[in-house]
Structure 1
Amino acid sequence: MLGSGSTLLGVRRIAGIVLAVLLIGGVVAAVVAGREDQDKRTATKTVQGVIGSEKAEFFADPDVVKALAAKGFTVKTETSGSWAMDGLDLKGYDFAFPSSQAPADELAAKFHVRQPLPRPFYSPLVVVAHRSAAEVLAANGLATVGKGTGTLKMAAYLKAAAQDRTWQQLKGAAAHGELTGTLFIASTDPNTSNSGALYLAAASYVADGGRVASSAAAVGRTAPLMHKLVSVQGAQQSSTDAAFRDFISGAGNPLVLVYESQVAALLNQGQDVGDLTVLYPDTTANSDHTVVPLTPEGRALGELLSSDPTLRRLAVKHGFRPQGATGEFTAATAAHATYLNQKLTGVRQAPVPAYKVLHEMARRAGN
């Protein structure tokens, strides 16, 4: 009986050990499975894209990185002039993100990308000026000026440009030693930069009596004036980022063409803008930031940027106007209404010529 009891006790001990091992194994398996599930939930797809430089700070913002990761995306970007993207080798990229629809449509045609293309946000072109320059323009009928914002009268400005007017010829300029030389708006190179090309689009539209250039003949009608607008500047910046930084630092031309988003982003950061005056051309062009998806992941990213409330809010933080509802931008920039024409009152949007027409306009303006 003792031998039988010992055997039974031994069997029970072995069974206990086996059960403990199984229990421990189950716990380990559950932990591993839980970690795998968590990894799956937090795993991100890495997408690679080329973007206009004015969006670099948006994609580098830690809050944007976090919001994208929460939706399963890690985004890696390189910058390029929007009009130079057509010449890039985009093999291996998931998306291109130029700053307007014309180069985006050209890229879409080249890579056989289906329409519609996601257009998450936009920004109108504006002219930043120091207070002295804005007041001289207003005194000579070229602008109307309020406290921190105003309107540039494009027809009057283009007439002055056609006549090679100088600051010295303008009433009131003599009191400001920095206002000398030919009157002009500093813009970026229209052959490579979106803002420079859109400047010509708006200027040619006004100069040609409110007609959108659609042919070589139409380009020819305004070519001499477009050439004058560009050639008077000498060397041009390749990006609005550099031009805007120079202006804020006190260097450069008294009048500089930039994106409204750059001004709004600076104001949102609470930075001192000194005697900044923001002039909205009464006829301007919108920079429609348009995603060209080269892979399904690229399209998913573009649609996410358009629809996700957090990413739309962060776009406004960086000065962009989300497509669709205008209330998001108006509410977020309420404290800066002194400088921003939030509802774009009195501002007409010039239609932008087709890519090839605008490209030819830029080429002739630079020759």
Structure 2
Amino acid sequence: MRRIAGIVLAVLLLGGVVAAVVAGREEQDTSTATKTVRGVIGSEKAEFFADPEVVKALAAKGYTVKTETSGSWAMEGLDLKGYDFAFPSSQAPAEELAAKYRARKPLPRPFYSPLVVVAHRGAAEVLRQNGLAELKGSSGTLDMGAYLKAAEDDRTWQQLKGAAKYGELTGTLYIATTDPAASNSGALYLAAASYVADGGRVASDTAAVERTAPLMRKLIQVQGAQQPSSDAAFRDFVSGAGNPLVLVYESQVAALLAQGQEVGDLVVLYPDTTANSDHTVVPLTKEGRALGELLSEDPALRKLAVRHGFRPQGGGTEFAAATTGRTTYLKQQLTGVRQAPVPTSEVLHEMTRRARG
């Protein structure tokens, strides 16, 4: 009997220890509890939200963020019930989502990134020799007017002076972009190109779309199959695959440089007329709005956004300080780069439809 009583007592004591450990864990979990918010984001922000330092900074403010990626324009077709926020890559799709879900204005815009064209050194030099670009170090400016004229004339690389010594430069000269029907960068490319092609006028109606439709169709259809996201297009370029000229976000280049990765003969061309990608949060719940405001205002998260190549709103000095030593590739001040106004969503959709044929 004594032995049995001893065993029972030991079990009870062990149970008490286990209960104490569980209670201790529960108490510890309560003290570090975070609110879980779910969102759909553009693929170019996936690495930012996956960064352990970003996860830690968000947790310190009481948030665990779970994300899924989608093309910015493709978010329109998603059922976002049960999500706390959507985070497309520019204001146009954000405004459309805000109207659909009756999101309160203003919409948080934590950071932005201009569109750039990445090229290999040989391609960039050929563009320079033919008056299509200016170079300084491993960065330069792409003359959009001259480029669009070459595209309209169906120029090939073989017709350009100096291209013969680069075996990879063959076929029609074009900038590879993402699918404008699904991806923000592809749609913004059309916005900037149509603005230049129409003499510096932003497309505002069907007549304006029709004036540039033949050229926009050439710019898109010459590419054949297009990537659905800028992340995939940039990875292909860095790996040495794909077209000699690829439209990406400056943030993707800046992030790669910040990581100290090998970039080979990369040259970054800033179109002299481009469109900024204003990454805009569409709050679907109060938690989603709080997250958007936190990304905009918290110093630690702004610093981490810069580390991932983004330019915080009103943070020119932050970006300049973080990119010191990388100005061979990056323009800290966007001097000489004109921002093309972006058409309304309705007009841009029509432009895309006509461009894709």
1:135 and 1:33, CA in 2 relative to 1: closer, same or farther beyond 3 A? closer
Letter in 1 for 2:48: F
Deviations 1:139-182 (A, max 9, x none): 10100011100000000000000000000110111111111100
Q: What is the 5 A alignment of 1:262-341?
A: 262-341=252-331
- Correspondent of 2:235 among 245, 251, 265: 245
CA distance in 2, matches of 1:308, 1:342: 22
- Identify unmatched segments of 5+ residues in structure 1: 1-28
The answer for the alignment partner of 1:355 in structure 2 is: 345
Q: What is the 5 A alignment of 1:191-206?
A: 191-206=181-196
Deviation at 1:35, TM superposition (A): 7.6
Deviation at 1:33, TM superposition (A): 10
- Correspondent of 1:132 among 122, 125, 136: 122
1:90 and 1:325, CA in 2 relative to 1: closer, same or farther beyond 3 A? same
CA distance in 2, matches of 1:325, 1:257: 24
Query: SS state of the match for residue 38, structure 2?
Result: strand
CA distance in 2, matches of 1:112, 1:41: 35
CA distance in 1, matches of 2:222, 2:26: 64
1:258 aligns with 2:251: no
Letter in 2 for 1:60: A
Query: SS state of the match for residue 82, structure 2?
Result: coil
Instruction: Calculate the aligned-residue CA RMSD, in Å.
Output: 1.5
- Correspondent of 1:141 among 123, 131, 136: 131
Query: SS state of the match for residue 334, structure 1?
Result: coil
The answer for the alignment partner of 1:154 in structure 2 is: 144
- Identify unmatched segments of 5+ residues in structure 2: 1-19
The answer for the alignment partner of 1:216 in structure 2 is: 206
Equivalent pairs counted in the alignment come to 337
Letter in 1 for 2:205: S
Return the index of the structure with the highest Cα Rg.
1
> If the length of structure 2 is used for normalisation, what is the TM-score?
0.92
Deviation at 1:246, TM superposition (A): 1.0
Deviation at 1:212, TM superposition (A): 0.6
1:96 aligns with 2:96: no
1:69 and 1:210, CA in 2 relative to 1: closer, same or farther beyond 3 A? same
Deviation at 1:325, TM superposition (A): 2.3
Query: SS state of the match for residue 76, structure 1?
Result: strand
Deviations 1:311-344 (A, max 9, x none): 0010011110000120111100112110001111
1:81 aligns with 2:71: yes
CA distance in 1, matches of 2:346, 2:66: 30
**Where has structure 1 moved over 6 Å in runs of 4 or more?**
32-35
Query: SS state of the match for residue 325, structure 2?
Result: helix
CA distance in 1, matches of 2:149, 2:69: 36
Letter in 2 for 1:267: L
- Correspondent of 1:177 among 160, 167, 171: 167
Instruction: Give me the identity figure in percent.
Output: 80
CA distance in 2, matches of 1:295, 1:328: 30
